[in-house]
Structures are given as C-alpha cells and as structure tokens.
C-alpha cells in the first residue's frame, strides 16, 4: 500500500497485513486541506486487483492546553434606610365644611444593596379642643389624604387616596408610598394633601392632633 498526499508519496510502501489493513503515521507542517490517497498494488495479481482510495483531510492546529478556575466574590451587605420628617406644624385652613393643608416634606432614603423594599404609612390621632373648645374632640377618621411626591426611588409607588370619614386615617394607618422587594433603592421625597371633614355642630375653638408617619422594611 502506497500512501500519498497531494500526489506525493508519504514514506515507502506499507505491507498489508492478514486482515487487509495497512497503517502509516505521519505529520503535516502546515494547516489546511490535504488530499490523501492510498494506492493498493497486489503482489498476487491473480487473486487481487489494484485499487485507490482518496480522502480529504483538514489539518488544524492542536488546541492549547487550558483550564478554568472558578472566581467567587462575596459582596458584603451595605447601606442604610432612613426616614426624615421635616419639622414644623401643619396649619389647616377652613374652606366651608372642610379644612385643608399639606404635610411637611417626608424623605425616605434607601441605600441598602440587599433591596428588601420598604413601606411608609400614616395615621391620624383624634383632635382635642382647647380654649372655648376644651373637652371637645374630633375623630382622626375625619382626616383623609392624597399622597404626593417630588421624586420617587426606582420602582417605588404612591399609596392611594384616602377619603375623610370613609375610611379616614384614624382607625387604620394608610400607605403613603411603598416599594416591593428588589426596588426602592435611592431617595423618595414624599408629601400628602390633607382634607378634614368638619363634623356638623363642632364646637368653635382650636383643635390639635398629630399624624404619625411610620417606615418599615418590607420582607423579601
């Protein structure tokens, strides 16, 4: 068996063994396509005939030795969550049977890289009278609000409008703004427009209440 590459002999002829197989080991100096041939010339022409087999071989460079290493980076939890309520009183202005006003600015800052989310709510205490209205009260449920903002952190949303009396802000706290887990990173500047429905036959005089603003972290 004579092996050839591109019509040129590769080494000397190789004898075919009893199984009809001939082998040859060689190498190529350049990459690319190589046209290989195996030309069989029988020594016993009475029993066997000549034959030629061809093969197109693509020679490529051997892949370099390589390996991989796993890199692990433990990023620590950082940041903080704060609620700031601007100081000062909120003076409600009477307009017919209602009184209106606006909350002082409320700032929520969340710089935690764990992104647990958060919620801010508000609840109004009962009003107590003084002076000529001493001893008189007005339920905190007479107060309602419409949440507002000048900026919201990514993914944060305002709570819904709460109307006075039904249900009002006295018995149950209402959401001013919130952010689900995975959102809320950054600063939110919040507020609310207040409306108090003055009950009929309310004694004249000065009344004082407080509205408590609470911020909590939302679980993931």
What pLDDT score does 183 carry? 95
pLDDT of residue 136 exceeding 60, the answer is yes
Highest-scoring range by mean pLDDT, 18-22, 38-42, 145-149, 215-219: 145-149
Same structural domain, 48 and 85: no
Number of domains in the chain: 2
Give the pLDDT mean for 190-201. Answer: 97
Let me know if residue 70 belongs to a domain: no
Full 3-state SS string of the chain: CEEEECCEECCCCCCCCCCCCCCCCCCCCCCEEEEEEEEECCCCCCCCCCEEEEEEEEECCCCCCCCCCCCCCCCCCCCCEEEEECCCCCCCEEECCEEEEECCCEEEEECCCCCCCEEEEEEECCEEEEHHHCCCEECHHHEEEEEEEEECCCCCEECCCECCCCCCCCCCCEEEEEECCCCCCEEEEEEEEEEEECCCCCCCCEEECCEEEEEEECCC
> Minimum mean pLDDT among 5-19, 95-109, 192-206: which range?
5-19
Same structural domain, 92 and 174: yes
Q: Kindly indicate the confidence band of residue 102, based on its pLDDT and cuts at 50, 70 and 90.
A: very high
> Minimum mean pLDDT among 4-13, 46-55, 73-82, 140-149: which range?
46-55
Give the pLDDT mean for 74-91. Answer: 96
Same structural domain, 138 and 168: yes
pLDDT of residue 18 exceeding 90, the answer is no
pLDDT of residue 175 exceeding 70, the answer is yes
Distance between CA atoms of residues 33 and 25, nearest Å: 18
> Minimum mean pLDDT among 6-15, 24-33, 113-122, 158-167: which range?
24-33
Tokens representing 60? Answer: 């490529």
Same structural domain, 190 and 127: yes
pLDDT of residue 60 exceeding 80, the answer is no
Same structural domain, 45 and 121: no
Let me know if residue 66 belongs to a domain: no
pLDDT of residue 172 exceeding 70, the answer is yes
Same structural domain, 88 and 55: no
What pLDDT score does 220 carry? 55
What pLDDT score does 28 carry? 75
Let me know if residue 74 belongs to a domain: no
What pLDDT score does 119 carry? 97
Entry pTM: 0.69
Same structural domain, 156 and 48: no
Same structural domain, 91 and 193: yes
pLDDT of residue 186 exceeding 70, the answer is yes
Let me know if residue 65 belongs to a domain: no
What pLDDT score does 5 carry? 83
Same structural domain, 53 and 107: no
Same structural domain, 209 and 104: yes
Let me know if residue 67 belongs to a domain: no
Let me know if residue 68 belongs to a domain: no
Let me know if residue 179 belongs to a domain: yes
Same structural domain, 109 and 14: no
Same structural domain, 137 and 198: yes
Let me know if residue 35 belongs to a domain: yes
Quote the domain boundaries for residue 11. Answer: 2-59
């Amino acid at each position: 068996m004579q092996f050839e590459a591109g019509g040129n002999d590769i080494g000397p002829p190789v004898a075919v063994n009893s199984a009809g197989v001939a082998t040859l080991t060689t190498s190529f100096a350049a990459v690319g396509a190589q046209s290989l041939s195996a030309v069989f010339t029988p020594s016993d022409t009475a029993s066997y005939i000549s034959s030629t087999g061809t093969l197109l071989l693509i020679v490529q460079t051997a892949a370099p030795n390589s390996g991989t290493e796993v890199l692990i980076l433990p990023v620590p939890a950082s940041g903080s969550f704060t609620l700031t309520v601007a100081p000062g009183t909120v003076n409600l202005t009477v307009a017919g049977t209602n009184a209106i006003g606006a909350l002082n600015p409320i700032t929520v800052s969340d710089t935690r890289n764990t992104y647990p989310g958060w919620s801010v709510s508000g609840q109004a205490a009962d009003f107590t009278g003084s002076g000529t209205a001493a001893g008189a009260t007005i339920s905190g449920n007479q107060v309602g609000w419409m949440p507002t903002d000048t900026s919201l952190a990514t993914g944060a949303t305002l709570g819904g409008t709460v109307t006075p009396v039904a249900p009002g802000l006295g018995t149950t706290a209402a959401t001013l703004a919130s952010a689900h887990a995975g959102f809320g990173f950054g600063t939110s500047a919040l507020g609310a427009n207040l409306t108090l429905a003055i009950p009929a036959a309310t004694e004249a005089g000065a009344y004082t209440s407080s509205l408590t603003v609470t911020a909590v972290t939302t679980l993931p």
